[in-house]
Amino acid sequence: MEKKLFEKKISSKKIFTGKIIELYLDEVELPNDKVVTREKVKHPGAVGIVPLNREGKIILVKQFRYPTNSALLEIPAGKLGKNENAADCARRELKEEIGAVGGKIIHLTTFYTSPGFCDEILYLYLAIGFERKENNPDEDEFLDIVELKMKDSLAYINSGKIKDAKTIIGILLSRDYLNLI
């Protein structure tokens, strides 16, 4: 990598270890040789899945998101378990959150949610052809299931009713797959 676009780690200090994240305060050397501190949140990574059913509806979950102090409409999603494969995690979350089993999952894209301070990477999938069973969320997970037509979900993005990054990307990228269902 060219020196102009690289920051060299000088030291690293762990500030916090939580259930979800770790926080580090590192010293780095900039391309101009100046040393500055960087705040880095370490995250295990996550998956999000757009479940598109046979009627062309997207199945979303509404759940309270404490940091935002509000309930958000989102695609099913979850953190990667230790050593868990992203596609396996997608299958697990689909079953737990909306009771979707079987069918196909298709990788849409993979992205960083907020690379300025955090290493969280999100693996995004589309699920089609699944069957619906009873869902079984975690004991401490509370959610409502909301089914939305693709057209309405696009309107929800434009009106701000959907305001979660992975959900917006998932819906926008899934439009190209409507012919598969």
Interacting residue with its own copies among 103, 163, 177, 181 (CB under 8 A): 163
Q: Which of 4, 85, 84, 86 is nearest to 49 (CA)?
A: 86
12 residue type, one letter: S
Beta-bridge partners for 23? 16, 41
158 burial type by CB count under 10 A (0-12 exposed, 13-18 middle, 19+ buried): exposed
Angle between helices 150-159 and 165-174 (to 10 degrees): 140
- Contact call for residue 31 and its own copies (CB under 8 A): yes
Longest dimension (CA), the chain: 58
Q: Which of 143, 152, 77 is nearest to 108 (CA)?
A: 77
Active site residue 139: yes
Interacting residue with its own copies among 101, 109, 136, 180 (CB under 8 A): 109
- Contact call for residue 145 and its own copies (CB under 8 A): no
The interface region with its own copies, picked from 51-59, 83-91, 95-103, 163-171 by CB under 8 A, is 163-171
From the candidates 93, 139, 141, 147, give the one annotated as an active-site residue: 139
What is the pairing mode between strands 57-65 and 144-149?
antiparallel
Interacting residue with its own copies among 155, 165, 178, 180 (CB under 8 A): 165
Closest to its own copies by CB, 19 vs 82, is: 19
Binding site for its own copies (CB under 8 A): 1, 4-7, 15-16, 18-21, 23, 25-26, 28, 30-32, 34, 36-43, 46, 62-68, 71-72, 74, 79, 109-120, 122, 139-140, 142-144, 157-158, 160, 163-166, 168-169, 172-173
Point out the residues that are catalytic: 139
